[in-house]
Amino acid sequence: MSYSEYTPCQDPRRGRKFDRYMLKYRERHCPSKEEQLGCLIQAPPKYKTPFKWPQSRDYAWYDNIPHKELSIEKAVQNWIQVEGDRFRFPGGGTMFPRGADAYIDELLKNYHP
C-alpha cells in the first residue's frame, strides 16, 4: 500500500538531481539500468485491466484510481463523473458542456458558404 500513489520513474528525490531550467526536474526520466527494478511495482488491490481504446478515452475503473475528489471539484465543469464502479469522462468541460462533437455539429449546422 505504500506504493499506491507511486508513479514509476517520477521519484521526487531523483528529480531533484535534474536541471531546474524549464522545469526539467519535473519531467519523467527513465532510470539507469541499476534503478529499473524500482519502476516495477505490484498493481494495487482490486486493480482491473483498463478499458481498451476507444472506450478508454471515456472510462476508467474507479478501483484503478480510487479518488473521487476530482469528480467533486470538477463537477460543474463536466470533466469527470463517477458512474458506479467507474469514472466517466464526458468531454467538453465548461467550454463544450454537451461535448466537442455537439459543438462541431452546431458549427456545421450554422455554416453557410
Q: What is the pLDDT of residues 7-65, one digit of tens each?
A: 666 677 777 888 888 887 777 777 778 777 767 777 778 899 999 988 988 899 998 88
Return the closest-CA partner of residue 89 out of 61, 59, 67.
59
Quick one: the chain helix, strand, coil %, rounded to 5? 35, 10, 55
Residues 65 and 33 in one domain: no
Q: Which of 27, 42, 57 is the last residue of a domain?
A: 42
**pTM over 0.75, yes/no:** no
Give mean pLDDT, residues 59-86.
82
All three cell numbers of 112, joined, read: 453557410
Which has more confidence, 29 or 94?
29
Residues 63 and 103 in one domain: yes
Residues in the chain: 113
Residues 55 and 95 in one domain: yes
- 48 in helix, strand or coil? coil
Segments forming the whole domain that contains residue 16: 1-42
All three cell numbers of 61, joined, read: 475503473
